[in-house]
């Protein structure tokens, strides 16, 4: 990882990137009042638009699901990018040269700009390979594709290419385009010999491996020729761009559909990804030369939208709807172990994990050829939950026709059920297990409880026990005990309360049109100007950011930076909210008026307070205090008169 991007560069990117343009690539936006646009939310299912963008404020917010943020967070969410990746991507688009913080996290050889050069080398290599696929020498490659049912347009769609035989075709091509020896060596496109670098891929069919933004970061290459002594599949080595634990082939093509369908299908090879997509399963991806691991799980989870707050969306029926991760393994134990390992301690993910097994052992590529695209779709549709799959596989190893076999099967499968941390799922599986075994439910429940106690006694994470305790009381991980994050909506009060409504409207105005409010009057508001606690927190953030009169751009962003936790979301919501007045000619007056009304209300409240205090005082015995309080009252009343006169 490179060092942190400098703050001012992040700010420059945020300012130059036009949020309505970036969002507009994913969401069709329509004008909704002055300075506001809306569309269908890409983060939840809806039929009428509640997803709003306010270009001049630079923020978006969905009033349906409560998601919101700036242009960077939008890209992060919609494309499943990390913060740095999103900023780098935007910087490339708007032409901001990023600088990274000195020291600390920067690794040697990862100077800024290096990544860009390596990406360019990969782009050039991908174009070169794709061109070579049309040459006479590549006939063997075209035959390979044709035999698997992939025509020319399929090859083009996936960017499949051909690396010619010989040692220096790509080397010379890239040198001719100005890439240095150092760049070529660290790109992983070359191998290093005694006499210098030479082409890593020779006489092979080549698949470009892209990251989630669509940049080519490496290649996978298949052996075609009899005399090729190398492995059947050869991939890029680890490079600054290519980390096999983190790449998923097909993710660039699948990500939108994965986010939309909240489903990802993990297949085993490049041709399986192609076959799945061409068969109408556009959510398929594959790992490249490695098993599905925790880093892959993280990427996939980000795309299918399993939030760290836990259980996904809770339906009225009580069922939890998260995304689905479907593995198509050839049914062997290695595959299921890989799936179980990948999610490790993160058990709440298991509930979303499914396994799709083709009984004949065919992979999606073979299946599409033998029985057509519908068979591939049927394979995916026939998925079963991972727990069920593991339990059934365990039972298959025993003879359930004998008492001894059933007891042994129960002994082997009870720990699996006891290991399910989701308190809602565990009894359900115990019940199903009883059914499959043909045993009494009580006996199975008891065996599960015993297995749970044994696991605990052996120092494993706390599990089992049939008491209905909350889900996910994790052991060491602790991740799933995290309380759900309070949403801005939970903080915001009932809109029926007129004072709360005025406070809300005033904050909306200050956040959206800071230049139109009376900054001096707003700045003079006391700590107690807002009666709603959440609004008071927003007020504090506004003051910490310098107040509406403060100079400089990125106003709403600065307020967000001063806010903490869920208050950030509330600031975003207020900064994006449609205003009650949205006629262009009336907005300014509305903004000024609503803030003035709040200022007036605050002053009126303080005046009433001082009056009450004066009445409780003894003007003679407490002459000095009385005089001071009286002067304060007069000052407040003068202030109020001045504020009212300004309107
Ligand atoms: Zn939404």
Could you read off the pLDDT of 263-307 as tens digits, one per residue?
Answer: 999 998 999 999 999 999 999 999 998 878 777 877 777 677 543
Separation of 18 CA from ligand 1 center, angstroms?
Answer: 20
Phi, psi angles (nearest 5°) of residue 31:
-65, 135
* pLDDT of 335: 58
Q: Please give the distance, rounded to the nearest whole angstrom, from the Cα atom of residue 491 to the centre of ligand 1.
A: 18
Measured distance CA(577)–CA(62) in Å, rounded: 9
CB 279 within 8 A of CB 211: no
Q: What distance in angstroms lies between residue 479's CA and the mean position of ligand 1's atoms?
A: 25
Question: 20 CA to middle of ligand 1, Å?
Answer: 16
CA distance 475 to 462: 6
Residue 279 to residue 230: CA distance in whole angstroms: 31
d(CA 267, CA 393) in angstroms, rounded, equals 20
CA 437 – ligand 1 centroid, Å = 44
pLDDT tens digit sequence for 218-265: 999 999 998 888 889 999 999 888 989 889 999 999 988 888 888 999
Measured in Å, residue 93 CA sits from the centre of ligand 1 at: 26
> How far does residue 63's CA lie from ligand 1's centre (Å)?
7
Residue ranges of the chain with pLDDT lower than 50? 1-2, 104-110, 306-321, 345, 459-491
Ligand 1 centroid, distance to 53 Cα (angstroms): 12
Of 493, 521, 540, 492, nearest to 594 by C-alpha is: 521
Q: Is 399 helix (H, G, I), strand (E, B) or coil?
A: coil
Distance 558 CA to ligand 1 centre (A): 24
Vertex 137 angle, CA 132 and 140, to 5°: 100
Cα 81 to averaged position of ligand 1 atoms, centre (Å): 19
Model pLDDT, residue 372: 95
Q: Separation of 64 CA from ligand 1 center, angstroms?
A: 5
pLDDT of residue 512: 92
What spacing in Å lies between the alpha carbon of 68 and ligand 1's midpoint? 8
Please, which residues have CB within 8 angstroms of residue 364's CB and are 6 or more apart in sequence?
267, 272, 275, 276, 279, 281, 284, 328, 376, 379
Given a contact cutoff of 8 angstroms between Cβ atoms, the answer to whether 559 and 531 are in contact is no
Would you state the pLDDT for residue 606?
Answer: 81
Cα of 509 vs centre of ligand 1, distance in Å, is 23
Dist. CA 23 → ligand 1 center (Å): 13
Pairwise CA distance, residues 31 & 193, whole Å: 61
- SS3 letters for 20-33? HHHHHCCCCCEECC
d(CA 563, CA 155): 50
Sign of CA dihedral 301, 306, 311, 313: negative
Compute the residue count for the chain: 647
Distance 322 CA to ligand 1 centre (A): 15
Tell how far the Cα of 391 is from the centroid of ligand 1, in angstroms. Answer: 37
Q: Give the pLDDT confidence score for residue 308 in this predicted structure.
A: 33
pLDDT at 458: 56
- Separation of CA 569 and ligand 1 centre (Å): 13
């Amino acid at each position: 990882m490179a060092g942190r991007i400098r703050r001012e560069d992040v700010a420059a990117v945020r300012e130059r990137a036009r949020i309505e343009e970036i969002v507009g690539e994913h969401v069709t936006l329509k004008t909704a009042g002055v300075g506001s646009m809306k569309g269908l939310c890409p983060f939840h299912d809806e039929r009428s638009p509640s997803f709003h963008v306010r270009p001049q404020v630079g923020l978006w917010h969905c009033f349906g699901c409560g998601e919101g943020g700036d242009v960077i967070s939008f890209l992060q969410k919609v494309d499943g990018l990390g913060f740095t990746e999103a900023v780098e991507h935007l910087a490339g688009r708007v032409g901001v040269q990023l600088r990274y913080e000195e020291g600390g996290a920067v690794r040697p050889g990862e100077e800024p700009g290096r990544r860009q050069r390596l990406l360019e080398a990969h782009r050039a290599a991908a174009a070169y390979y794709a061109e070579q696929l049309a040459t006479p020498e590549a006939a063997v490659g075209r035959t390979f594709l044709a035999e698997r049912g992939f025509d020319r347009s399929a090859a083009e769609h996936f960017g499949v290419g051909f690396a010619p035989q010989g040692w220096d075709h790509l080397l010379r091509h890239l040198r001719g385009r100005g890439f240095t020896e150092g760049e070529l060596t660290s790109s992983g496109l070359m191998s290093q010999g005694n006499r210098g670098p030479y082409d890593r891929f020779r006489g092979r069919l080549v698949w470009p491996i892209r990251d989630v933004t669509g940049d080519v970061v490496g290649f996978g290459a298949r052996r075609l020729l009899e005399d090729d002594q190398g492995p059947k599949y050869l991939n890029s080595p680890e490079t600054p761009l290519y980390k096999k634990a983190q790449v998923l082939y097909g993710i660039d093509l699948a990500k939108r559909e994965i986010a939309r369908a909240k489903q990802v299908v993990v297949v085993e090879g490049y041709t399986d990804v192609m076959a799945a997509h061409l068969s109408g399963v556009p959510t398929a991806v594959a790992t490249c030369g490695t098993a599905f691991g925790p880093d892959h799980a993280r990427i996939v989870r980000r795309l299918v939208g399993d939030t760290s707050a836990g259980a996904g969306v809770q339906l009225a029926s009580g069922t939890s709807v998260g995304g689905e991760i479907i593995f198509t393994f050839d049914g062997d134990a290695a595959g299921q172990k890989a799936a179980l390992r990948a999610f490790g301690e993160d058990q709440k993910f298991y509930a979303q994990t499914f396994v799709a097994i083709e009984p004949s052992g065919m992979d999606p590529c073979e299946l599409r050829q033998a029985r057509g695209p519908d068979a591939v779709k049927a394979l995916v549709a026939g998925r079963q939950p991972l727990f069920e799959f593991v339990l059934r596989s365990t039972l298959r190893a025993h003879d359930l026709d004998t008492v001894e076999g059933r007891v042994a099967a129960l002994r082997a499968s009870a720990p699996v059920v006891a290991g399910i941390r989701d308190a809602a799922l565990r009894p359900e599986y115990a019940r199903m297990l009883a059914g499959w075994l043909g045993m009494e439910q009580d006996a199975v429940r008891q065996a599960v409880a015993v297995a749970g106690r044994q696991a605990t006694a052996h120092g494993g994470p706390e599990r089992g026990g049939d008491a209905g305790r909350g889900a996910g009381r994790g052991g060491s991980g602790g991740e799933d005990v995290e309380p759900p994050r309070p949403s801005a909506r939970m903080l915001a009060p009932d809109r029926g309360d007129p004072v709360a409504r005025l406070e809300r409207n005033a904050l909306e105005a200050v956040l959206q049109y800071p230049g139109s409010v009376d900054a001096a009057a707003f700045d003079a508001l006391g700590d107690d100007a807002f009666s709603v606690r959440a609004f008071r927190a927003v007020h504090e953030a506004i003051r910490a950011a310098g107040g509406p009169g403060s100079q400089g751009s990125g106003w709403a962003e600065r307020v967000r930076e001063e806010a903490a936790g869920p208050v950030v979301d509330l600031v975003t919501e207020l900064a994006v909210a449609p205003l009650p007045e949205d006629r262009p000619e009336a907005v300014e007056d509305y903004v000024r008026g609503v803030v003035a009304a709040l200022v007036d209300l605050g002053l009126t409240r303080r005046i009433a307070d001082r009056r009450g205090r004066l009445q409780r005082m003894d003007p003679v015995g407490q002459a000095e205090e009385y005089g001071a309080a009286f002067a304060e009252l007069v000052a407040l009343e003068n202030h109020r008169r001045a504020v009212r006169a300004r309107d």
